[in-house]
Structure 1
Amino acid sequence: MLAHPTLDQLNTLGLYGLAKGFKELEHKPEARGLEHAEWLGLLLEYELTLRRQKRFATRSRVARLRHPASVEDVDYQSPRGLDRALFLKLSACDWITERRNLLITGASGLGKSWLACAIGQKACRQDISVLYYRVPRLFADLAVAHGDARYSRLLRSIARAKLLILDDWGPEALNADQARDLLEIVEDRYDAGSLVITSQVPVDRWHDMIGVPTIADAILDRVIHNAYRIELSGESLRKRRSAATKNEPA
């Protein structure tokens, strides 16, 4: 059979990875000595690779991660208290399938958002659904949704993500509506999905930030007790890098 009818059939069936592999193997002299089973195995690997890439691209687009970060690029040398062994364990994403949480705290400039996005990107690569929100933007969207009957739909879309990243919480206290909204989100995720929360405020002050004692108790009971914690400290990475750049010879 000529090559082009086969390619047409593969593309018609939506087997674009197989079609790509067929074209490439057809022009490799070393492939001519392969057994049929070996050819088929290579073609299937092309198809699986392309499908993984497409799923990752879709997951990443839906996640809307703030930073193009990856766990392979994490800086363990800067003195900020990042436990390498713990972060490597978290990078495997088993804690997400176990429906546990991750709390990242520390002063501004220590890379909290970047680390959260690196975890989110790795989860996307492992075909785990991810959604990223800066907390101020989340509450703004929820406030608008309350007024135009989209509130329930927005909560459902947030709940569908296996990993929800809430970035940059605090230091402002929540009002009563925001506290109730956060409780709804946390309740939907309890024993169903995982949270990453980043904040400049230490965890022991989160109760005060929520403001309504009974709601704060309910939220923190569901978030904290099964959570891993990364507590960063030290000087801002941005400040150090800026100083290093200024000190470079012209």
Structure 2
Amino acid sequence: MLIHPTLDLLTSLGLHGMAKGFRDLDAQPEASRLEHAEWLGLLLEQEKTLRQQKRFESRARAARLRHAASVEDVDYRAVRGLDRALFLKLAAGDWIRSRHNLLITGPCGVGKSWLSCALGHKACREDFSVAYHRVPRLLAALALARGDGRYARMLRTIARLDLLILDDWGPEPLDAEQRRDLLEIVEDRYEARSIIVTSQLPVDRWYELIGNPTIADAILDRLVHNAYRIDLKGESLRKTKQSSIAQPAA
């Protein structure tokens, strides 16, 4: 078998998964008993797997998630009111395909950001485009973009994302420009793309954060009406971990 010319050809065509599969199969004596169609099927499967992995890695880099979290590592034993059945349903990603939203509220330290990043990581694995932003920094970046001509382009980039994670909204109220920016983001994504919002404040206090009643109605109507809700409770998990570390061994 002309192994080296075949490998060179696969590599030159950018079929690196098939090239790796070719080397692996050639090293296995039992592979000589495979039919040509079986060889081809295995090589194509290797190529598909490698491309999926590269796509995921690219998605994950672009998402810039705050935490290296995954849905498989969620601690359901922690006392914080996390509904396991609901979270596993969300992890499947159908809510993103249906263009619904997710609102995660609860006190500081109960894992809101971590859970949102875990869902973002899973969305990257499902080949969705994802971006993570802390709300204060995103609004500051939009204010800068408005001054140097990048504002419209930045909004278009955000609008094209399959999943936008807006983390750590509040407790500071929005000013007039920030209200308009948030309305633009939510309006662009309404029934077209999905959003995760996390906040220490319960949803019924978000009107206070927005300030203007008319704009608040417009934003919250678009965010809330088709949204799943996770309302977490309890003490900070960081404090709980520190307490368990500080306790002397029995």
User: Shorter-chain TM-score category?
Assistant: over 0.9
Deviations 1:1-43 (A, max 9, x none): 4211000000111101000000111001121211112111111
Instruction: Give 5+ residue unaligned stretches, structure 1.
Output: none
What's the secondary structure of 1:86's corresponding residue? helix
What's the secondary structure of 2:131's corresponding residue? strand
Q: Hey, what does 2:51 align to over in structure 1? A: 51
Listed as ranges, the matches of 1:196-211 within 5 Å are 196-211=196-211
Distance 1:116 1:173 in 2: 22
Distance 2:195 2:238 in 1: 26
Distance 2:78 2:218 in 1: 37
Q: Hey, what does 1:244 align to over in structure 2? A: 244
Q: CA deviation at 1:249?
A: 3.1
Distance 1:200 1:32 in 2: 61
Q: CA deviation at 1:248?
A: 4.5
Runs of 4+ in 1 over 6 A off after TM superposition: none
Distance 2:44 2:187 in 1: 42
Q: CA deviation at 1:58?
A: 0.7
Q: Hey, what does 1:158 align to over in structure 2? A: 158
Instruction: Give 5+ residue unaligned stretches, structure 2.
Output: none
What's the secondary structure of 1:136's corresponding residue? helix
Listed as ranges, the matches of 1:17-96 within 5 Å are 17-96=17-96
What's the secondary structure of 1:117's corresponding residue? helix
Q: Hey, what does 1:144 align to over in structure 2? A: 144
Deviations 1:153-181 (A, max 9, x none): 11011111010000000011000100000
Q: Hey, what does 1:231 align to over in structure 2? A: 231
Distance 1:151 1:205 in 2: 29
The verdict on how the C-alpha distance between 1:150 and 1:29 changes in structure 2, with shifts beyond 3 A counting, is same
Q: Which moved more, 1:34-43 or 1:90-99?
A: 34-43
Distance 1:92 1:229 in 2: 16
Q: Does 1:109 align with 2:109?
A: yes
What's the secondary structure of 1:7's corresponding residue? helix
Distance 2:24 2:109 in 1: 47
Counterpart of 1:186 in structure 2: which amino acid?
V
Distance 1:158 1:228 in 2: 21
Q: Hey, what does 1:175 align to over in structure 2? A: 175
CA RMSD, 1 decimal = 1.0
Counterpart of 2:246 in structure 1: which amino acid?
K
Counterpart of 2:115 in structure 1: which amino acid?
L
Counterpart of 1:223 in structure 2: which amino acid?
L
Counterpart of 1:61 in structure 2: which amino acid?
R
Deviations 1:168-205 (A, max 9, x none): 00011000100000000000001110000000000000
Listed as ranges, the matches of 1:5-20 within 5 Å are 5-20=5-20
Deviations 1:82-108 (A, max 9, x none): 000000000001000100000000000
Counterpart of 1:66 in structure 2: which amino acid?
R
Counterpart of 2:74 in structure 1: which amino acid?
V
* Percent identity for Structure 1 against Structure 2: 69
Counterpart of 1:33 in structure 2: which amino acid?
R
Number of residue pairs matched?
A: 250
Distance 2:71 2:248 in 1: 28
